Structure 1
Amino acid sequence: MAGRDLRTLFSSNDRSIAASEAFTNRQAQWQAVTVGLAEHIRHVTRADFDVEDLEAPRRNILVFHGVGGIGKSTLSRKIEASLASSGHRPVQWESSPHPEERTLPVRIDLARAAGMDFERVILTIRLAVAALGRPMPAFDLALRRYWEHNHPGEPIEDYLRRGGLLSRFSAAAALPQQIQSALSDVAQALLLPGTVGGALGHGAGALIKALRERRQSVRALAGCSRLADLLEAEPDLEALSFYPHLLAWDLARLTVGKSALPVILLDTFEDTGDRTHRDFERLLQRIVWLMPNAFFVVTGRNRLQWAETCLEGQLDWTGPNTWPGLVSDAAHGGSGVSGRQILIGDFSPEDCEDYLARRLSRDGQPLIDEPVRRIIAERSHGLPLHLDLSVMRYLELRRGGTQPQVTDFDHDFPALIARTLSDLTAEERDVLRSVSLLDAFSVPLATQVAGMSHDAPALRLTERPFIRESSSGVWPFHVHDLIRAAVRNADDGSDDRWSDQDWQRAAQRAFPALESQWRQDLRRDRAVLVGCLQQGLLLARDFRLDLGWLTDAAFQYVGDSIWEPLALPAADARSSDGLLTAADALVETLSAIARRQHEHRERTVVRLSAVLASRLLPDDLVELATYYLAKAQRDLGLTDDSRRGMQRVAAADGRLASAARRGLAHLSRLSGDFPTAVETAGRLGWEGRHHRVLGDVWWVQGDMERAIAAYLAARSEAEEHGAVGETAMVQAHLAFAVSFADPLRADDELELVDHLLSRLSLRSSEMTVRIAALVRDAGLSADVPDRAAALLAEIGVSGISYAAAKLQLALCFHHAVLDAQDVLVDTITRLRELTQSGDYAYYVEIAYFMAGLPFPEHTAQARWINGERQTRERWRHLVQTRRSHLGTTC
C-alpha cells in the first residue's frame, strides 16, 4: 500500500474514491538538502579532512523546524526515499548534486510513541551501515563488549529480530557475521585461544595492551588512537555514546569503491526532552559531533540551541564557534533564520489547491469540488494539518448522507490545539492563550498580559515555531494565524482549558497593558499609537470593556490627519446595524473618518450619522463624530448642516472646539465673507491652525505673497509641533499658491509635498497637489485640459465638491493665459454650475478677474478684503505675468 493514505482509505465504503498520500512542493527544503550535501562532500573529500579531529567546528547538520502538522515527518520520509532511490524522488525535485557519490540514508523516528531509545539509535545506524557488506572492526569490537556486558546470554540477532530491526534493513542479518568476522580477525592476530565469541571478553586486556604498544599484529586497528581508551572504559551507556567515533573511523578507512556517505535523518527531535532534561539530546549530539563524515538532517518543532553559549554544561559542545551553521542571524541583527536552521513555511494557496485536488479523487478528477477546496485553503492559512483534518471532515460529512458545502468548513479543529499545546509547559500554555488576544506582542507585553512576574515562559514561547518574528512592526512576535484562531475559537478539551471568566480576566489584563505601552512611548510614535489603538479597540469590543484610555488615543489618532487604516476583524454576532457597544461605535467612527480619504463623502455622512443615532458614544466622542460629520457635509456642499454641526462642537468648548471654529472660518470663506474669516483666524491660535486659515483667505484675494508667507508660517509651526499630517497638508496649499506666482519654484514645492504625502493618506491634499501641478503648467503645457478631465473623474468618485470647482478655476487660469476666450467662457459656465449653491461662488468672480472681463448681471459678489478693484488687478497681473513667462520660454 505504498503511497496510499490508509487512514483516509478506511474512512469510506466508497471504493471508487482514490485516497492518495499527497506530497506537495517543498522544493526549497530539498534544495537546502542538496546544497548542504554538496558542501559536506567537498569538506570530507579535502586532503586535510581528519575524521579524528575533535576540535574543528561542525557543519555536518541541517535542521528543519516548524509547527506541528506542517509536514516535517513527511518531508523527512521523502528525503530518505529520494536519497535511497531516484525512482522515489518527487517529480518536482532535482537530482542530487553528486550522483557519483553513494549515499546511505537512514531515518530514525525519535517520537516517544516509536519507543526509540539511545541503544536502538546506535543499532539502527550500524544496521544501515551493514549494507556496505564490510565489518566495522573498531566499532564492532566495542559494540560486542558492550553487548556481552549489558545483554548477557542474549544474542544480538534475537534482540534485532524481536525489536523489528531485522525486517527493516535488508542487510541486517549480516550484522552478526560482520561482528564475528571482526572478532575472529582480532583472535587470530593475537593468537587467542577459545571461541571467537568469547575472544574479546577473555582477551580484552591483551588487545588493549597490543593497541597501546602499536604492535604489528593489530596494525589495522592501531591507527584508531582512541579505541584502547574506549575498550578500557566501563561498557555502559555513557561509553556507548562515544562509540560513533569508532564507526566514523571505520567508515573513513573504506576504499572509494566500498564507501558511502551516511545521511542520518533524526525526526521528531522535540521528543528527546525539554530545556531542563537534555540527557537524551546530549547523547544524540555526541553522535553528530563524533561522526563528522556523516550528514545529519534533523526535523522537529523547535530550533536547535546548540550554538548558544548558555547551554554550556548541559551539552558537551556548545557555542557559535562550535556550530557556526546553527547560529541565529538575530544575534547579528538579522531575521533570526540561519543557513542551517530552516523554518518550514506554510503551503502557498497554489500548493493547498494541489494538495486537496490530489488527496481525494474519483476517476482521475478531484472529489472535493473547487469552491470547497478554495474555502478550505483560505481557512488553513497554508497549514497542512488543517488540510488533512478538513479532508477527514469532508469524508465524515459524506458518511452522514449529505454533500459537503462551503459553509461546512467555517470550522476550527480542537486537534490543532492538542498538537500545539502538547509539548508546552503549563506556563507557556497560559502565555500562548493570553497573547492569542493580541495581533502582535513583545516579551514584556506577553508577560504582563499573562499576569506573570517573570519573563521566562514568554521567552521560551517566542522560540516555538508557531510564533513568527518580524522586525517591521511595533512588537516583534505574533502567533501563527491559524493557531491563534484555533486557540481562541475551537473547543479546548485540554485539562487546563480556560473558562469564559479566564478569557475575560486575560482581556482585562491586556487592556491596561496596552495602555501602558502607549503612554510610555515618549517619542509619540504613530505606529505604537495605531498598534495599541487597534488591539485595544478589539479587546474593548469583544469583551465589552469600558473605553477608558481609548478616548485619549482616538483623539491623538485624528489629531495629525495621517489616517492609517483601522480595520478590525468582524465580530461573531452583531446587531443589524453592526453597533452594540461603545467600542463598536468608536471603531465605526474612526474607520469612517479614516476611510473618507478613499470613499465618497456621502458614505462618510451615512456612517457617522448612524453612529450618532446609536447614542453609544460618550459625550467627548460624540464631539469627535459630530465634527467630522460636519467636515464631510461641508465637502458635499451641505453648508447649513455643516455650520450647525461646527457650532455645536464649538459651543461645547471641548477638545475640538478650536478645530470647529476653524471650520466656521472656512464656512465664512467659502461663502465669500472674507473679513469674518480673517477676524475668526485671529482668535484661533495654533490649535485652530490660524496661519493656514489666513493663507486660504489670501490666495483667493490674488495676494500670493501674503498667502505664501502665511503657509510658510503654518508649515514651520506644524514642524515645531511634530505634526506630520498638518505639515503635508500645509505644504500642498503652499505649492498651490506658489504655482500661480512662480512656476519654477513650484517644482521644488511640489517635489517636497510629494515626499511628505508618500507616507500618508490625505486624499484631498493629493487632489490639491494635482490641481497645483495644472496651475504650474497653465499656458505652458497643451495637455492641461486632458489631465484636468482625468482628475475631474477621480474627484467625482470622492465626492469632494470644492475640488471640482477648484479644478475648473485652474482651467480658467490656463485659458486666460492663452487668451482662449471661447473655451474660457465655457469653463466659466461649468464653474458657475458647480457653485450655484453659493459656496465658492467667488471663483466665478476670480475667473472674470483673470480674463479682464466685466461681470454679467446678477453675479453674486464676495466681500473682498481690499475691495473688488484691487483684487481684480492682482488676478489680472498673475495672468499677464504668466504670459510674459510664456513668451520668455518660447
Structure 2
Amino acid sequence: MAGRDLRTLFSSNDRSIAASEAFTNRQAQWQAVTAGLAEHIRHVTRADFDVEDLEAPRHNILVFHGVGGIGKSTLSRKIEASLARSEHRPAQWESPSHPEERTLPVRIDLARAAGPDFERVILTIRLAVAALGRPLPAFDLALRRYWEHNHPGEPIEDYLRRGGLLSRFSAAAALPQQMQSALSDVAQALLLPGTVGSALGHGAGALIKALRERRQSVRALAGCSRLADLLEAEPDLEALSFYPHLLAWDLAQIPVGKSALPVILLDTFEDTGDRTHRDFERLLQRIVWLMPNAFFVVTGRNRLQWAETSLEGQVDWTGPHAWPGLAADTAHVGRAVSGRQVLIGDFSPDDCEDYLVRRLSRDGQPLIDEPVRRIITERSHGLPLYLDLSVMRYLELRRGGRQPQVTDFDHDFPALIARTLSDLTPEERHVLRSVSLLNAFSVPLATQAAGMDHDAPALRLTERPFIRESSSGVWPFHVHDLIRSAIRNADDSSDDRWSEQDWRRAAQRAFHALESQWRQDLRHDRAVLVGCLQQGLLLARDFRLDLGWLADAAFQYVGDSIWEPLALPAADATSSGGLQTSADALVETLSAIARRQHEHRERTTSRLSAVLASELLPDDLVELATYYLAKAQRDLGLTDDSRRGMQRVAAADGRLASAARRGLAHLSRLSGDFPTTVEAAGRLGWEGRHHRVLGDVWWVQGDMERAVAAYLAGRNEAEEHGVVGETAMVQAHLAFAVSFSDPLRADDELDLAERLLSHLSLRSSEMTARIAVLVRDAGFAADLPSRAAVLLAEIGVSGIAYAAAKLQLALCFHHAVLDAQDDLATAIIRLRALTQGGDYAYYVDIAHFMADLPLPGHTARAQWIDGEQRTRARWRHLVTARRSQLATPR
C-alpha cells in the first residue's frame, strides 16, 4: 500500500531527504478498475449518450498487460468475483465508487487451452445478461436466424449444455424461453402463423419490410435503425460479429431500475493471434466498439495496438482518436491514471526511471543522479525488488561518507538469492541453480540438468513467479534475467551454496542434457538444433568443456544451409579477449559462416583465417573452417587460394569432402572447362549436389531445357532429403534459367523461390533470384537498367563478385533483345572488366553470341560442351524468341 517509506526514513540522519513508497500492488489495479468504471458510468448516463453512435471515440476499455506468470489471470478472476459479490472482495480493496449502479461481470478466457471461438464468446455474453430476466428482441431475432442457418436441427440449449455454459450461468436456462418470447411477440405483431423462429425463411422478410416501413405493429423494434440491415445480411460469422450492436441497443431500452452495467473481462488476450494474424482480434474489437454501454477489462501479455494508425486494414477502428485511452503516451505502470493501458509486473525502463526519481528526493529534485539511475535501471531488468535494494545500497554508501558512483551499481545482490530461495524446498533450489546455467528450459531438460530422476521439483519450480513462460522458442521456461544473474554471480551465503566444482559438475550435466535433447529430436527440428547449439556452446566456453557433440551439431547446422545467427554473450570481464577456447573458435567459425550472407566476403575470409591461425579447433572442425574460407575466396575471385583450400578438404576425405569436390567442379566451370565439370558431376552424387552442378553448366550453354530439368531433379532430391536451404537455392537457379526461355512460367517459379527464401538467410541465392527478375523483364521493362544499378550497389556491399558479372550478363541480354547496339557495347566493356581475372570470362563470349557478334581475336575461348557454333545458335535463339514475345502482350 502507498504510504511513508519507513525503512528509507530510518536509513539516514538527513531529514531533507524525502522518501516515498513507490511500489505498487494489486490494489492499484483495483483502483484503476473502479476509476474506469466510474468514468464509464458518468459517460453512458449523460443525456447526449447514444448507443447507436458508431463514430464517437471509445472509452469503454481498460487493459492490464505484463509478462507471463505475473498474475494477470488471477487479477482478472479476482475482479470478476469482487464485482459480482462484495464478500469476495479482498479486505484491502475499497468499495467501488458507484454503489448505485449494478454491475454484471462476466469473464471470458481466450486462452487456446480453453478452446474459445467467436460463437462461444457471443453466447457467453448473452448468457450473462440473461440474469436481467428480460427479452432482448433485436439481438435474439438475429441470433435465432444465425443459429438456424449455421446449426440446423440443433437446439441452442443442447449446444449450451454440451459446452458447459448452462452450468456456469444460473440464469442460462431461461435463455431459450427469453428468445422464444421475443420471437412470438414479433410473430403475433405481424400476424404470422406460429412464431418467427419456426418460419424465419418467410417471417424474416415480412419483419424486414415492416421495419423499413416503421409500422406501428413493430414500433418496439423499429427504433433499432440497423436491425433490418443485419437481418437482410447473410447470417454468417461476419454478420454475427456485428450483432453486439443489437445487444447494446436492447440493453439501452431496459428501464434504469431494471438494468445493469455489463463488465466483460477478456483474459489471455495474447492468444487471439499475433502481430500478423488478427482475424479473431478484429472480431473481438467489434464487440468492444459496438457495445459502448459495456465496460471491458482486457488482460494479456501485450499492450493493445488499436490506437496505432499502422493497424489500418487489420482491425476496423484504429488510431488515437478512436481509442484515446490506448494511445502509447498515456500508458503508465501499476497506477490508476488517465491512461487505459496499465503495465503490471516488471517495470519498463521509463517506469524504473520514474520510480527512482520519486523514491528519493531533496527539495523536489531527484537525490540519485541520472547516470546512476540509468545503470540501476539497466541492471534491474525491470524487477522492482532490485530497484528497492539499489536505493538502500545508495543510502548505505552515502552513510560511508562518499557520493555513490556508477561503478558501485555493477552489482548483484545476495539478498535477491536469499529472497528467491527462502520458500523453496532443497530440491527446488537445486533445480533452480541448475537451470540458471540455461537460457531456457523445459521440465524434462531441467530434471536431467539437475541430475534428478523425477520431475516434481522442476514442475513446482515452473509455478514460481520468477520463472517466466513463453510460447515461442524451443523450451517454454526461463529464469527471470536478474534472478538468473544473481544466482550465477552473487556471493551465495546460503547453507546449501555451491562450490566451483559443484557448478562445473552442473555444467557437465546440463551440457549432456542438451546433447540428449538434440539427439532425441527425431523430427530434426531446426529450432531444437540451434537452441542446443546456442546453449551448449555457451556452457563449453564458460566452463572450458570439450566440444564433444557440438562438432556433430555444427555440421548439421551448416548442412541445412539456413544460417540463423549464432552469437554468444560477451565473456566475463576477466577474459583477455580474443579466441581463448575451442568453443570460442567454433562460435566464431559458425558466426562467420552464417554472417557471410550479410557481410562482405572479405570480412568472412578475415574471420575464418583468424580462426585457423588460432589452432584451437579440433581436426574434424578444421575442415569446416577451411571449406567455407575457400568458398568465400571463390566469391571474391581468389580462385587459386580457393582451389588449394578445396583440394585440402577433398584430400582429407572427411564430412565435407563431397562438398569440396563440388567446389572444385565449380572452379572448373568458372574457368570455362565445362567437359571437366560435367565429368566431375557424374561422381558427386547427392552429397555433392550433382544435379545443381549440371544445371549450372547447361544454362551457360544456352540449353535452358536441360538446365531446368537438372534443377528440377536437384530440387526434388533436396525435398526428399528435407534440406530446405538446398531446395530454396536450387529453386532460385531454376527460376533464373526459366526466366530466359519462358517469362510467363518464370512468374510462378520466382514466386516459389521468394516463398522458399523468405524464411532463410541465403544472400547469394537471393541475388540470383533478383537477377532472374531482371532476365524475365528483359526487353519488356524500360526501367530495367536503373533497377539493375540499384541491385549492383547491393552486390557491391556483399562482395559476391560473380553476382555482379551475372547481373551484367542480364543487362546484355536486355540490350540484345532491344538491339540497342551502343548500350550493349558499353555493357560488354563492363562485363569484360568484371571478368578480366579469368573467372566467368566466357560471359563475354555469351554476350557476343546473344547479339550474333563475332568474338574479338584475343578472346580466351571456353570449352563448350557441343561446340561454339551450337552454343552461339542457342543464345541467339533466346534473344530472337524474346523479340517475338515482345510483340505479344504478356
Question: Does TM, normalized by the shorter one, top 0.5?
Answer: yes
1:791 maps to amino acid = L
Is the CA contact (8 Å cut-off) linking 1:67 and 1:420 kept in structure 2? no
Where 1:524 maps in the other structure, the secondary structure is coil
Relative to structure 2, which stretch is displaced further, 24-33 or 377-386? 24-33
Which SS does the other structure have where 1:726 is aligned? Answer: helix
Question: RMSD value over aligned CA atoms?
Answer: 3.4
Q: CA deviation at 1:408?
A: 3.2
Which amino acid letter does the alignment assign opposite residue 451 of structure 2?
Answer: G
CA distance in 1, matches of 2:65, 2:766: 50
Contact 2:2–2:23 (Cα < 8 Å) also in 1: no
Tell me by how many angstroms 1:839 deviates: 1.3
After superposition, the Cα gap between the structure-2 partners of 1:640 and 1:819, relative to the gap in structure 1 and judged at 3 Å, is same
Whether 2:695 is the aligned partner of 1:729: answer no
Counterpart code for 2:667: L
State the TM-score, normalizing by the size of structure 2.
0.65
Instruction: Indicate the residue corresponding to 1:375 in structure 2.
Output: 375
CA distance in 2, matches of 1:378, 1:863: 64
1:153-202 alpha-carbon deviations (Å, 9 max, x no partner): xxxxxxxxxxxxxxxxxxxxxxxxxxxxxxxxxxxxxxxxxxxxxxxxxx
Per-residue CA deviations over 1:822-852 (Å, capped at 9, x if unaligned) read 2222222222222121111111221122222
Provide the C-alpha distance between the structure 1 equivalents of 2:27 and 2:841, rounded to a whole number of angstroms.
Answer: 67
| Partner residue, 1:824 | 824
Larger-gyration structure (1/2): 1
1:291-344, CA deviations, whole angstroms, 9 ceiling, x for partnerless residues? xxxxxxxxxxxxxxxxxxxxxxxxxxxxxxxxxxxxxxxxxxxxxxxxxxx995
**Is 1:622 the counterpart of 2:622 in the alignment?**
yes
Aligned to 2:354: 354
- Is contact 1:68-1:420 (8 Å) kept? no
Q: Quote the residue 2:876 is aligned against.
A: 876
- Is the contact made by 1:731 and 1:749 (CA closer than 8 Å) also made in structure 2? yes
- State the match for 2:710 in structure 1: 710
Evaluate the alpha carbon distance shift between residue 461 and residue 873 of structure 1 in structure 2; reply closer, same or farther with a 3 A threshold: same
Match of 1:762 in 2: 762
Aligned to 2:613: 613
Which TM-score applies when normalising by structure 1?
Answer: 0.65
Indicate the residue corresponding to 2:59 in structure 1.
none
Displacement after TM superposition at 1:35 (Å): 10
**Percent pairwise identity:** 86
Displacement, 1:623?
A: 0.5
Contact map agreement 1:66 1:466 (CA 8 A) in 2: no
1:557-609 deviation line (CA, Å, top 9, x unaligned): 11110111111111115755521111111111111111111111111111111
Q: Which runs of 4+ in 1 moved over 6 A?
A: 24-28, 35-38, 62-70
Instruction: Give yes or no for the alignment of 1:449 onto 2:449.
Output: yes
Deviations 1:445-471 (CA, angstroms, capped at 9, x unpaired): 111111112111111111111111222
CA distance in 2, matches of 1:730, 1:842: 22
* Alpha-carbon contact 1:561-1:726 (below 8 Å) kept: yes
SS of the residue corresponding to residue 888 of structure 2 reads helix
Equivalent AA in structure 1 for residue 622 of structure 2: V
- Quick one: distance in 1 between partners of 2:885 and 2:370? 65
Pairing 1:428-827 to 2, within 5 Å after superposition: 428-573=428-573, 576=576, 578-827=578-827
SS in 2 for 1:759: coil
- How far did residue 495 of structure 1 move? 1.2
Contact 1:34/1:96 (CA < 8 Å) preserved in 2? yes
Conserved? CA contact 2:69–2:468, under 8 Å: no
**Alignment check: 8 A CA contact 1:34 1:97 kept:** yes
Q: Distance between the aligned counterparts of 2:28 and 2:596, measured in 1?
A: 44
> 1:44-63 alignment to 2 at 5 Å?
none
Equivalents in 2 of 1:379, 1:639: separation in Å? 50
Contact 1:66 1:343 in 2 (8 A): no
Q: Following TM superposition, by how much is the alpha carbon of 1:654 offset from its aligned partner in structure 2, in angstroms?
A: 0.4
Are 1:778 and 1:817, in contact at CA under 8 Å, matched by a contact in 2?
Answer: yes
Q: What is the distance in 1 between the residues matched to 2:733 and 2:746?
A: 11
**1:602 and 1:393, CA in 2 relative to 1: closer, same or farther beyond 3 A?**
farther
Q: Following TM superposition, by how much is the alpha carbon of 1:703 offset from its aligned partner in structure 2, in angstroms?
A: 0.9
Asked whether the equivalents of residues 586 and 617 of structure 1 are also in contact (C-alpha less than 8 Å), the reply is yes
Q: Deviations over 1:761-807 (max 9, x none)?
A: 11111111111111111111122222212212211211111111111
Q: Does the 8 Å contact 2:433/2:487 carry over to 1?
A: yes
- In 2, Cα distance between equivalents of 1:3 and 1:652: 74
Q: Where in structure 1 are there 5+ consecutive unaligned residues?
A: 42-61, 85-92, 104-341
Partner-residue secondary structure (3-state), 2:478? strand
**Match in the other structure for 2:847:** 847
Q: Does structure 2 retain, via aligned residues, the 8 Å contact 1:360–1:367?
A: yes
Relative to structure 1, the CA distance from residue 439 to residue 65 in structure 2 (aligned partners, 3 Å threshold; closer, same or farther) is closer
TM-aligned CA deviation for residue 363 of structure 1: 4.0
Shift of the 16–819 alpha-carbon distance from structure 1 to 2, 3 Å rule, reads: farther
Change (3 A) 1:749 1:102: closer
Distance in 2, matches of 1:555 and 1:697, equals: 28
- Select between 467-476 and 726-735 the one with higher mean Cα deviation: 467-476
- The CA deviation string for residues 387-415 of structure 1, in whole angstroms up to 9 with x for no partner, is 22222333344445554444433221111
Partner residue of 2:273?
none
The change in CA–CA distance for 1:852 and 1:837 in structure 2 (over 3 A counts) is same
Task: Check conservation: 1:565, 1:595, Cα contact below 8 A.
Answer: yes
Q: What does residue 214 of structure 1 align with?
A: none
Q: Corresponding residue for 2:281?
A: none
| Structure 2 CA distance for partners of 1:18 and 1:818, relative to 1, 3 Å | farther
- Preserved contact between residue 414 and residue 493 of structure 1 (Cα < 8 Å): yes
C-alpha separation in 2, matches of 1:28 and 1:797 = 54
Q: What residue is the counterpart of 2:863 in the other structure?
A: 863
CA contact (8 A) 1:69 1:384 kept: no
Q: Report how far residue 472 of structure 1 moved.
A: 2.1
Contact 1:466 1:480 in 2 (8 A): yes
Shift in Å, 1:378? 2.2
Does the Cα contact within 8 Å between 2:668 and 2:674 map onto a contact in 1?
yes
Paired position in structure 2 for 1:230: none
Q: Is the 8 A contact 1:24 1:351 kept in 2?
A: no
Q: Secondary structure at the match of 1:18?
A: strand
CA change 1:766–1:366 in 2 (3 A) is farther
Aligned partner letter, 2:770: R
> Partners in 2 of 1:625 and 1:640 — Cα distance?
17
SS at match of 2:561: coil
Counterpart-to-counterpart distance in 2, 1:782 and 1:14: 78
C-alpha distance 871-63 of structure 1, shift in aligned 2 (>3 A)? closer
2:353 is matched by which residue type in structure 1?
Answer: E
CA contact (8 A) 2:68 2:470 kept: no
1:2, distance to aligned residue in structure 2 (A): 7.6
Partner Cα separation in structure 2 for residue 63 and residue 569 of structure 1: 29
Distance 1:470 1:775, change over 3 A: same
CA–CA distance in structure 1, aligned partners of residues 844 and 610 of structure 2: 36
Letter aligned with residue 524 of structure 1: H
Distance across 2 between alignment mates of 1:469 and 1:373? 29
Specify the alignment match of 2:106 in structure 1.
none
User: Does the 8 Å CA contact 1:521/1:528 hold for their aligned counterparts?
Assistant: yes
- Find the aligned partners of 2:864 and 2:33 in 1 and give their Cα distance: 79
CA contact (8 A) 1:779 1:882 kept: yes
* Structure 2 residue matching 1:889: 3-state secondary structure: coil
Against the structure 1 CA distance between its residues 423 and 780, is the aligned structure 2 distance closer, same or farther, given a 3 Å change threshold? same
- After the TM superposition, which of the residue ranges 711-720 and 463-472 deviates more from structure 2? 463-472
Task: Tell me if 1:18 matches 2:18.
Answer: yes
Offset of residue 386 of structure 1: 1.1
- Could you say if the C-alpha distance between residues 756 and 97 of structure 1 is closer, same or farther in structure 2, counting changes exceeding 3 Å? farther
Deviation at 1:679, TM superposition (A): 1.2
